[in-house]
């Protein structure tokens, strides 16, 4: 490829950086709170609830994310084709060919998958706090909510930053899996450009975009870790 073709290819791929960032951002917005809820439910003393949560985590962590994306994306179209008037009427108003449906299915799959991973990280962080701190807080008159948000949570955040940063960095790379349902993001466009030019250079260009994003995240998380150093 000539330099002119490389620059043109880079410009085309860069146009789809925003859709990639949308996957990244919305996944974090939904998966982190959901992960915290799942972590708390897993620690629930009511066994049926904790058992169901364990099954959910096992399925999400034990099957490929690509399979989950495909399953969620094609679930409603297949249900609409089922020989059931109830299901056909239930999903009659859902336009499964629209961009909004595609994006919603994509974020649902990503959020459910990453919530399972974040849940285990959060659970490990919460359980690493000694029971003595809960007892000391109760002695000082703190309620359970005050104890959790004022004493426990700040320490948990400090302890889970390294593990969470790994998941966030992995998420940047996993956004490329969106191409499996023809969602237009930088990796899909890079593959199209590779076919157009019969050259691997577009894939390396996409790789540079992923590398830069992850380098920025690494710097940010390093700064956060230093900021939280006062929790020993």
Residue range 149-168, pLDDT digits in tens: 788 877 888 888 888 899 99
DSSP assignment letter at 151: I
CATH code where residue 184 lies: 1.10.3720.10
Question: pTM value?
Answer: 0.88
Q: E strand or H helix at 153, and its extent?
A: helix 153-174
Q: Is 19 a residue whose pLDDT tops 60?
A: yes
State which residues form the domain around 173.
3-227
More confident residue, 231 or 128: 128
Distance CA 24, CA 64 (A): 18
Percent pLDDT > 70 in the chain is 99
In a domain, 148, yes or no: yes
**What's the CA angle centered on 186, arms 96 and 71, to 5 degrees?**
35
Q: Please check whether residue 232 lies inside any domain of the structure.
A: no
pLDDT of 231 reads 52
Asked whether residue 23 is domain-assigned, the answer is: yes
Domain count, the chain: 1
Q: Is the Cβ–Cβ distance between 111 and 30 less than 8 Å?
A: yes
Asked if residue 156 is part of any domain, the answer here is yes
Which residue matches tokens 């199209």? 192
Q: pLDDT tens digits, residue range 104-163?
A: 999 999 999 999 999 999 988 888 888 887 788 888 888 878 887 788 877 888 888 888
Nearest to 74 by CA among 46, 101, 51: 101
Instruction: Calculate the alpha carbon distances from 210 to 38, 118, 215 in Å.
Output: 29, 22, 9
Residue 84 lies in a domain: yes
**96 within domain boundaries:** yes
CA distance 33 to 46: 21
φ/ψ of residue 221, rounded to 5:
-65, -35
| 3-state SS assignment for residue 97 | coil
């Amino acid at each position: 490829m000539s330099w002119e073709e490389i620059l043109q290819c880079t410009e085309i791929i860069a146009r789809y950086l925003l859709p990639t960032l949308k996957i990244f951002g919305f996944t974090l917005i939904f998966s982190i709170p959901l992960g915290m809820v799942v972590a708390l439910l897993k620690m629930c003393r009511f066994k049926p609830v904790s058992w169901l949560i364990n099954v959910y985590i096992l399925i999400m962590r034990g099957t490929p994310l690509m399979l989950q994306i495909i399953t969620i994306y094609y679930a409603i179209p297949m249900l609409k084709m089922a020989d059931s008037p109830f299901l056909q009427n239930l999903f009659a108003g859902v336009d499964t060919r629209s961009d909004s449906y595609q994006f919603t299915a994509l974020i649902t799959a990503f959020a459910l998958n990453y919530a399972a991973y974040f849940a285990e990280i959060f659970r490990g962080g919460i359980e690493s706090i000694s029971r003595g701190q809960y007892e000391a807080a109760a002695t000082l008159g703190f309620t359970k909510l005050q104890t959790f948000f004022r004493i426990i949570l700040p320490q948990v955040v400090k302890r889970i930053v390294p593990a969470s940063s790994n998941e966030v960095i992995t998420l940047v790379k996993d956004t490329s899996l969106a191409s499996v349902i023809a969602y237009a993001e930088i990796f899909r466009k890079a593959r199209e450009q590779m076919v157009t030019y019969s050259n691997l250079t577009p894939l390396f260009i996409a790789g540079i975009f992923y590398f830069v994003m992850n380098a920025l995240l690494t710097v940010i998380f390093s700064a956060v870790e230093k900021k939280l150093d006062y929790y020993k």
